[in-house]
Structure 1
Amino acid sequence: MCYFDYTLYKRVKKITFILKISIPIIIIAYLFLYAFTPQSFITSKPKLIVINKGSSLKEIVYRLYNKKVINNPYLFYFIGFISGYSRYIQEGTYYISINESPAKIYHEIVNGRVATSKVSIAPGLNIFEIAEILSKNHITNKKLFLKKCYDKKFLLSIKLDAPSAEGFLYPDTYIFKINSNPKDVIKDMVNNFYLKTKKIKPNYKDLIIASLIIKEADEKLKNSTGFISSVIHNRLKINMPLDIDSASIYAMNVKMYKNYLRDGNAYNVILNMKPRYLKVKSAYNTYLHYGLPPTPIANPDIEAIEAAMHPAKTKYLYYISTKTGKTIFSDNLSGQIKNIDKYLK
């Protein structure tokens, strides 16, 4: 004879009911705890993670796991799947750390909070120097940036009718996205140039002269830009060679860049003058060619541009840079020789 234990039945039913309620609660609580808890409390540097357009959630999770910024790919994937985040993830390059919670990581990549880098472009840097800075800060590819600086079709699309972007990349502090399209970087810098110069409206000749000034000017002497501008203008008036070292250095950089495009050989930006640069066959060599170089040789700031447009009224034809960086001027060759003997020997 079989006896039915009603008390036991009620107890089992109660336990079953509790389990049906508690197990989902425990699972939800665990997922919630995982989602909002940093995956590691050991301080670690953020890593650059690239999310390409059209990447699936599975591909993204796999990349994050390989970069060791998540420790449980299955739970991370599950949260992204059930939350619907996978449909809203934006392409871009992100700084992600294992010290972040999964919820924070999803928040960043869903809202497109891409990694950025703050860079300062000093007055007087040329496109080759700027390309190096941008590359070192992971902002854009050096080779692609320089190619776009010479891309006539692209330059015309941003209303820049010039042989290159040289002279139009305004020196300033910028915040760029990591792995930016070089077109966007150039466009931002050129737009800044137009914004800063809209009141004075320099022409192309002004920019060429301004670029020579900014390369030659004494940073410690504020009014040296006006004096150097007067030397350039005075020499141009009497058809006297400009004899500017900075232009010869630029000629070598242009030559090195062309070799780089042709042969693929790595190169470093040339910064210092050497005697052999005086003989380089180039339109930028102002020792061999009269008049101005064909393009700017650097990117000047507003002060240099204004100095080019409004030179100081002097009779100066010569100047030297002393060992301390000061610029000394003279209006004749004998004065120049005396200054050389006094300050450079």
Structure 2
Amino acid sequence: MRSFLKLLFFLGILLAALIVAGAWWANSPIALRDATVDFRVAPKSTLRSAVAQMQEAGVGVNADLLALLARWRGVATGIKAGSYSVRQGVTPEELLAKLARGDVTQGESLLVEGWTFRQWRARLDQHPDLKHDTAGLPEAEIASRLGIDGAHIDGWLLPDTYLFDKQSSDLELLARAHRAMRKKLDVAWSGREANLPYKTPYEALIMASIVEKETGRSEDREMVAAVFVNRLRRGMLLQTDPTVIYGLGEAFDGNLRKRDLQTDTPYNTYTRSGLPPSPIAMPGLAAIQAALHPASSDALYFVARGDGSSQFSRTLDEHNKAVGKYQKGGK
């Protein structure tokens, strides 16, 4: 009996020592390769595979001990995927809590209204927090992977500020922006005004991109849309410079010349009637709404006043006077 009690006593001491040692380990700093280590836990990772990914990144945590601690805490199967960042001094207890909460780090990118895909792509290509899966791919291939018909991506991505897990794919971000634009355009199209001169949502998207590029002040947006809608209805040429500039592509040097307006391209709305064949930029939601809900006006012309706003006119004579006043220094 005494031997049994001694054994129990010994086992109790051993268990207590193990608990103390485990608590000491769980609350001692983990060895890190650098002062701050970033790592990513892939979706559907087990705890052990997550530890392997952490160790590869430079987090020197013991897989067996962390697994025991996770089972003790009841979170062995509750590890969240995503991007994480840990600093010198982090303990196994803190690391496990971070993984269980899904306390991920995120990157951020602002995709600007009125920019072209070429401009967006240049920004994303320089983003340090993205994995650049589209590097070297032609635009037509990216469009195909996004499920966009045709080779033109312009217009099909929704401008917004996008948050993402660090080191996630730039293609995933573009796919999110495309899904968002599809959804927003479908909703806006279903609530459009009657008798607009568009046959499809895509034509409305083209118009929205023109409105986006031609609007200097937000309060003028519906009037700008009204001018172009009125011109379409009357069969007039749209005569909008941004479409000509888009058609010039990289050949545009910042100076739009008379010969550019006279040189026929699919995007020259001085030489071709109707809408251009594709959007010329990424329109925001406000531009889409303006294209589908233009102001009630019979204006056919507008000219920039020089302060960001526009002067709208119903007749060519009124327009010429406005041009003389605001662009030629007339009185």
TM-score band by shorter chain is 0.5 to 0.7
* Paired amino acid for 1:79: L
Give the structure 2 partner of residue 93 of structure 1: 83
Secondary structure in 2 matching 1:100:
coil
Inter-partner Cα distance in structure 1 for 2:166 and 2:287: 31
The yes-or-no answer on 1:302 pairing with 2:310 is no
Kept after mapping to 2: 8 A contact 1:248/1:277 = no
- Report 1:33-182 matches (<5 A): 33-37=24-28, 39=30, 47-51=37-41, 59-65=52-58, 70=59, 73=60, 76-80=62-66, 82-83=68-69, 92-109=82-99, 113-135=103-125, 136=127, 138-141=129-132, 143-144=134-135, 151-156=142-147, 160-161=148-149, 163-182=151-170
Kept after mapping to 1: 8 A contact 2:155/2:283 = yes
Post-superposition shift, 1:214? 1.1
Post-superposition shift, 1:211? 0.6
Does the C-alpha gap of structure 1 residues 167 and 142 become closer, same or farther in structure 2, counting only changes over 3 Å? farther
Inter-partner Cα distance in structure 1 for 2:29 and 2:245: 52
Give the structure 2 partner of residue 191 of structure 1: 179
Secondary structure in 2 matching 1:200:
helix
- Report 1:204-283 matches (<5 A): 204-219=202-217, 221-222=218-219, 224-236=220-232, 237-240=234-237, 242-245=239-242, 247-251=243-247, 255=250, 273-275=254-256, 279=260, 283=266
Does the C-alpha gap of structure 1 residues 52 and 306 become closer, same or farther in structure 2, counting only changes over 3 Å? closer
Post-superposition shift, 1:50? 3.5
5+ long unaligned stretches in structure 2: 191-199
Would you say how many aligned residue pairs link Structure 1 and Structure 2?
Answer: 299
The yes-or-no answer on 1:342 pairing with 2:329 is yes
Measured against aligned partners, the alpha-carbon deviations of 1:281-339 in whole angstroms (never above 9, x if no partner) come to: 853354565543321122223332232234332333242251x3222334436222332
Does the C-alpha gap of structure 1 residues 110 and 151 become closer, same or farther in structure 2, counting only changes over 3 Å? same
5+ long unaligned stretches in structure 1: 1-9, 257-269
**Which of 1 and 2 has greater Rg?**
1
Post-superposition shift, 1:116? 2.4
Secondary structure in 1 matching 2:328:
helix
* Paired amino acid for 1:200: W
Kept after mapping to 1: 8 A contact 2:40/2:54 = no
Post-superposition shift, 1:210? 0.6
The yes-or-no answer on 1:311 pairing with 2:294 is yes
Post-superposition shift, 1:29? 2.0
When the two structures are superposed, what TM-score results if normalisation uses the length of structure 2? 0.68
Post-superposition shift, 1:142? 7.5
Inter-partner Cα distance in structure 2 for 1:238 and 1:211: 20
Post-superposition shift, 1:188? 2.7
Does the C-alpha gap of structure 1 residues 210 and 137 become closer, same or farther in structure 2, counting only changes over 3 Å? farther
Does the C-alpha gap of structure 1 residues 204 and 133 become closer, same or farther in structure 2, counting only changes over 3 Å? same
Inter-partner Cα distance in structure 1 for 2:146 and 2:134: 16
Post-superposition shift, 1:83? 4.7
Measured against aligned partners, the alpha-carbon deviations of 1:104-147 in whole angstroms (never above 9, x if no partner) come to: 32344467654323444443333334334545262452845975
How large is the RMSD of aligned CA atoms in angstroms? 4.4
Kept after mapping to 2: 8 A contact 1:167/1:300 = yes
Q: Percent identity?
A: 21
